[in-house]
Amino acid sequence: MKQIRLYVTASQAECELALDLLGLAFEDAGYPVATMEIDENRDIWEVSVYVPVDEQTAITAAMTDCLAAALPDVQIEIEILPDVDWVTLSLQGLKPVRAGRFLVHGSHDRYQVRPNDLSIEIEAGRAFGTGHHGTTAGCLEMIDQVVRRRPYRRVLDLGTGSGVLAIGIAQLTQATILATDIDPVAIEVARDNARLNHCASRIVFRTAPGFHSELFARRGPFDLIVANILAKPLMKMAPAMSRNLASGGQVILSGILASQRMKVLAAYNTQGLYHRQTFWRNGWVTLNLSR
C-alpha cells in the first residue's frame, strides 16, 4: 500500500520534544517515527510519521492531539512517498540500544553483542516498540536492577507491544510471565519476537484490554507488574494494579513525562504502593513502587 509522510517542521528543541511524544504515541502501533535536520544555519528540523495513505485523516488528527499541549502552533504537512518498505528501512537504520545489561538490536547488528550482554533481538519490519524510546530503555534498566534483589514467580507485562520487556524478564528470572496487549497484531508480533529470542515457552501472550479479563485472576496475583503505557491510563488503573499485585509485590511503571511523575505517584500512594526508585531518561521517568 502506498505510504505517506506526515511531518512537522520546528526548531531542534521542539523537534526533540515532538519526537518523544510522537514516538510514544505511534511506534508501538507500528508507525515509524524519525527526525532529521533540514537547515543547520537556521535551526530547522523535521519530525515525521510514516503511515499508509488510507490512514492519513485518522493519524493526522491523532498527531494534532498528541502535539496540541506541548507544540500548539506546529502545522502537520504531507508528502506522498514511493512504494518502499519504510518500516524495515527505518528499523535497519536504528543503532543498538544498551539499557543496563541488555542490548536491544536488529538482526543486522548481531555482531555488536558482547559476551556478557543480555541480547534482545527485535525483528526489523515489525515495529511495535524497539527499545529506542526512553520509556522502554528505562523499563529495561529498572527490570535489570529490580530482579537482582529477589526471585519472582509470577510476572505481568501489561501492554507488552513488541514483547521486549517480557523477553528481558525471561532472560533474568525463572518466573512464569503473562504478557498482554489490547492489540491482537501486537500480540502476534510479540510472540514471534519471543520465538526469535528463544523464550516463547516461558511467556504466555494474550489479547486483553487493561485488567478487564478473568485471565488476570487465574494467572495472578503477580509478584511483579510492568506497565509501559501512558500516565493517564496508569493512574486510572492504580486500583486494579493494586488488586492484582501479590503481597510484597513490585510495580514498574513508565510512559510518564517527568512533569507527570508526582501525579502518578499520588494515585498509587492512595492504593498503598510507595515510591522506591526513579530513573530519568530524556524527559521521561520510570518508577519502581512496592507495598
Report the percentage of the chain scoring pLDDT > 90: 41
Give the dihedral sign, CA 166/90/10/41: positive
Residues 244, 171 within the same domain:
yes
Residues 162, 214 within the same domain:
yes
pLDDT confidence of residue 124: 55
Residue 158 has pLDDT above 90, yes or no: yes
Residues 273, 212 within the same domain:
yes
Q: Please provide residue 51's backbone torsions phi and psi, each rounded to the nearest 5 degrees.
A: -140, 155
Span 54-72, average pLDDT: 90
pLDDT confidence of residue 19: 86
Q: Domain boundary at 52, 84, 116, which?
A: 84
Residue 208 covered by a domain: yes
Residues 51, 134 within the same domain:
no
CATH code: domain of residue 279: 3.40.50.150
Which of these, 206, 273, 204, lies nearest to 234 by C-alpha position? 273
Residue 240 covered by a domain: yes
pLDDT category at 41 given cuts 50, 70, 90 is confident
pLDDT category at 80 given cuts 50, 70, 90 is confident
| Total number of domains in the chain | 2
Residues 26, 157 within the same domain:
no
Give the dihedral sign, CA 204/156/28/209: positive
The residue with greater pLDDT, 240 or 43, is 240
The residue with greater pLDDT, 33 or 269, is 269
Q: How confident is the model over 190-216, as pLDDT tens digits?
A: 999 999 999 999 999 999 888 888 889
Residue 280 covered by a domain: yes
pLDDT confidence of residue 289: 97
Cell 536492577 found at: 145
Q: Domain boundary at 27, 56, 84, which?
A: 84
Highest mean pLDDT among 9-18, 90-99, 100-109, 261-270: 261-270
Q: Please provide residue 120's backbone torsions phi and psi, each rounded to the nearest 5 degrees.
A: -125, 115
Span 68-96, average pLDDT: 69
Cβ neighbours of residue 237 under 8 Å, at least 6 residues apart? 210, 211, 227
pLDDT confidence of residue 86: 43
Residues 31, 156 within the same domain:
no
Residues 143, 283 within the same domain:
yes
pLDDT confidence of residue 115: 86
Whether pTM exceeds 0.75: no
Residue 81 has pLDDT above 90, yes or no: no
Q: What range defines the domain where residue 190 resides?
A: 128-290
Residue 105 covered by a domain: no
pLDDT confidence of residue 130: 47
Highest mean pLDDT among 48-52, 103-107, 216-220, 247-251: 247-251
Cell 507488574 found at: 225
pLDDT category at 83 given cuts 50, 70, 90 is low
Residues 261, 143 within the same domain:
yes
Residue 231 has pLDDT above 50, yes or no: yes
Residues 72, 180 within the same domain:
no
pLDDT confidence of residue 87: 46
Span 156-176, average pLDDT: 92
Mean pLDDT of the chain: 85
CATH code: domain of residue 40: 3.30.70.120
Residues 176, 264 within the same domain:
yes
Residue 220 has pLDDT above 70, yes or no: yes
Residue 113 covered by a domain: no
